[in-house]
Amino acid sequence: MKCDICGHDGIATKNVTRSFGKGKDLLVIEDIPVLSCPHCGESYMTADTLLELERIKLHRHSFAVKRPVEVTVFA
Ligand SMILES: [Zn+2]
């Protein structure tokens, strides 16, 4: 698979956890596929992934499972 930024082969996909919003609107999404290029060091998401993230955020109440998590603030 080729990198969209530099065009080199060998891009890797890794699944990451990202959080969106804060406070009572905080939403954590796990296993988001992020493409990471070893050549230019860029990491980015595909348009499909971004669309899916928007969909998940819109429908968070039907998708999300409530889990107790520890949240800290960097002070
Ligand atoms: Zn690249």
Fill in the DSSP letter of residue 47: H
- Is residue 1 pLDDT above 90, yes or no? no
- Ligand 1 centroid–CA 22 distance in Å is 31
- Ligand 1 centroid–CA 45 distance in Å is 13
pTM for the whole thing? 0.82
Distance from C-alpha of 55 to C-alpha of 39, rounded to nearest angstrom: 31
- Ligand 1 centroid–CA 37 distance in Å is 5
Distance from C-alpha of 42 to C-alpha of 71, rounded to nearest angstrom: 28
Nearest Cα to Cα of residue 66 among 38, 26, 6? 26
- Ligand 1 centroid–CA 44 distance in Å is 10
Calculate Rg over the CA atoms of the chain. Answer: 15
3-20 pLDDT, tens digit per residue, is 999 999 999 999 999 999
Write down all domains in the chain, each with its CATH number in brackets.
Answer: 1-75 (3.10.20)
Fill in the DSSP letter of residue 25: G
Nearest Cα to Cα of residue 70 among 26, 14, 34? 26
